[in-house]
Amino acid sequence: MHRDMVEWRGQNPPPGTIMIISDQVNGDFSWDLARLQQRTRYGLFLAYSMKQCNDYLLVYFANCRWEQLLEEEEGGAPPVVVAGGELSSAAMFYCKSCNFNCQSLKKFKNHLSSYKHGMEDAITPPVTKFLFATKSWARSYPASPEHATAKIHVLWDMNDCPIPEGYDARQVRPSIERAFKERGYSGPVSITAYADQKETPVHHLLALSSSGVDFAHTLPWVHYSRMITDFEIWTRDNPAPASVMIISDEVASSKSRSKIICLKLQKFNYNCFLAYSVRPSETPLLVTSAEWLWESLLAVSEIRRHILHKCSESERVVASTGMFCCKLCFCDCKSLDAFNKHLSCKLHTKEEHRMLSHTQSFRRSLRQFKISKYHDRVGCPPKTKRMRKAPRKGFLPRPLRFTRG
Ligand SMILES: [Zn+2]
Ligand SMILES: [Zn+2]
């Protein structure tokens, strides 16, 4: 069924609509379908009898119960197919094993009980294993006309992909832009770098901001969520066609963690790029038009730059200062001085402490919750002589209980 759908897609370019009536749109099937959908969007309707497809990467118009669907038709149009001998001649019968098709039920039944069909089934039994249509997809495509001059937004996780030691930070933007141009993308590029910016060396901050890179100050535990929020805000003003580049190991390798951002990209139908410091062991969830290893992306430019310098000394980055934003207090600063001042001000320090203690208390409650669940399962800890003497030092005899359900 899946293979037929892939074939049909090849013969019928969008716009078009596909309806799948099956309980098996899940797991590998829906993953493959979602990836196919990322590249080429068809309207998608799903119908199921028992098991609803809950894969939220898939963008569909309707996901409804099969029986309900049939009921809705009742009393409306006259029945199309009459069961029994007389059949509408429009329907085709296919035997997928022998590549045989016919329009008559009688012929089809004869075929299925024929020696030839039995032989074919015995020699090449029907494939039961799921065949991925997208697993071997190459990852580098030239720009399509609608994306060639469209905006490109870059979300850069500086924790995962830091600036290599001894590397001139001013070259980050030109390197990224050059890599885009090589593939035919020449639209305006905006870059936001996410990290605990107190840890970023000042010369990097200055160099990057002089090339128009924006900074977002985050802390590790809100790092990813702030990135997603920012991206969502960006989408409001920048509908597709546009490209989004994500520089992050987390999005490249962790399927569960990257699901949220991949879903958003899927929904908005953006063209995607990915860069990572380590090549992921599995195919990333995101369907990309190009992928790079972070260091090779930067090094590419270094070689080119060397050549370019020989040709023209005038090659300079146009200075447009990037913005500095504290994503904890949601405070925007136009200069590095103002940003540094903010990061050391009382209000900001208070916010950081509040966040830190919140996270710590969350971890503590989670631990307590797990302990109490364990006690629910195996009973309270055995009371030993030592524990009776000093109950406060050992286990909590009756741990804090959380209401469940
Ligand atoms: Zn056959
Ligand atoms: Zn702040």
pLDDT exceeds cutoff 70 at 396: no
Furthest C-alpha separation in the chain? 89
φ/ψ of 243, rounded to 5, equals -115, 150
pLDDT digits (tens, 9 = 90+) for 138-183: 566 778 888 999 999 999 999 999 998 888 899 999 999 999 999 9
Q: What is the ipTM metric for this complex?
A: 0.71
Neighbours of ion ligand 1 (CB under 5 A): 95, 97-98, 100, 117
Say which CATH architecture domain 150-344 belongs to. 3-Layer(aba) Sandwich (3.40)
Give the number of the ligand closest to the Cα of residue 345.
2
pLDDT exceeds cutoff 70 at 323: yes
Give the number of the ligand closest to the Cα of residue 98.
1
- Which pLDDT belongs to residue 89? 61
- Which pLDDT belongs to residue 313? 37
Output 312 or 117, whichever has higher pLDDT. Answer: 117
- Which pLDDT belongs to residue 130? 80
Give the number of the ligand closest to the Cα of residue 338.
2
Output 254 or 401, whichever has higher pLDDT. Answer: 254
- Which pLDDT belongs to residue 150? 94
- Which pLDDT belongs to residue 280? 85
- Coil/strand/helix, residue 331: strand
Give the number of the ligand closest to the Cα of residue 222.
2
Q: Please say whether the beta carbons of 30 and 53 come within 8 A.
A: yes
pLDDT category of residue 101 using cuts at 50, 70 and 90:
confident
Separation of 80 CA from ligand 2 center, angstroms? 66
pLDDT category of residue 44 using cuts at 50, 70 and 90:
confident
pLDDT exceeds cutoff 80 at 247: yes
For residue 296, the number of C-alpha atoms closer than 13 Å in the C-beta half-sphere is 9
- Which pLDDT belongs to residue 386? 57
pLDDT exceeds cutoff 70 at 317: no
- Which pLDDT belongs to residue 401? 52
Give the number of the ligand closest to the Cα of residue 113.
1
Neighbours of ion ligand 2 (CB under 5 A): 326, 328-329, 348
pLDDT category of residue 387 using cuts at 50, 70 and 90:
low
Separation of 101 CA from ligand 1 center, angstroms? 9
Q: Whats the size of the chain, residue-wise?
A: 405
- Coil/strand/helix, residue 190: strand
- Which pLDDT belongs to residue 83? 46
Q: Please say whether the beta carbons of 350 and 323 come within 8 A.
A: no
What is the C-alpha to C-alpha distance for residues 187 and 280, in angstroms, rounded to an integer? Answer: 28
Average confidence score pLDDT of the chain: 81
Sign of the CA dihedral running 202, 203, 207, 210: positive
Separation of 124 CA from ligand 1 center, angstroms? 11
Neighbours of 322 (CB within 10 A): 21
What is the C-alpha to C-alpha distance for residues 142 and 144, in angstroms, rounded to an integer? Answer: 7
Give the number of the ligand closest to the Cα of residue 353.
2
pLDDT exceeds cutoff 70 at 390: no
pLDDT exceeds cutoff 60 at 389: no
pLDDT digits (tens, 9 = 90+) for 185-227: 999 999 999 999 999 999 999 999 999 999 999 988 888 888 8
Q: Which segments of 12-152 does DSSP mark as H helices, in order?
A: 27-39, 66-73, 105-112, 115-123, 145-148
pLDDT exceeds cutoff 80 at 37: yes
Separation of 324 CA from ligand 2 center, angstroms? 11
Return the domain boundaries, the chain.
2-76+86-123, 150-344
Separation of 50 CA from ligand 1 center, angstroms? 30
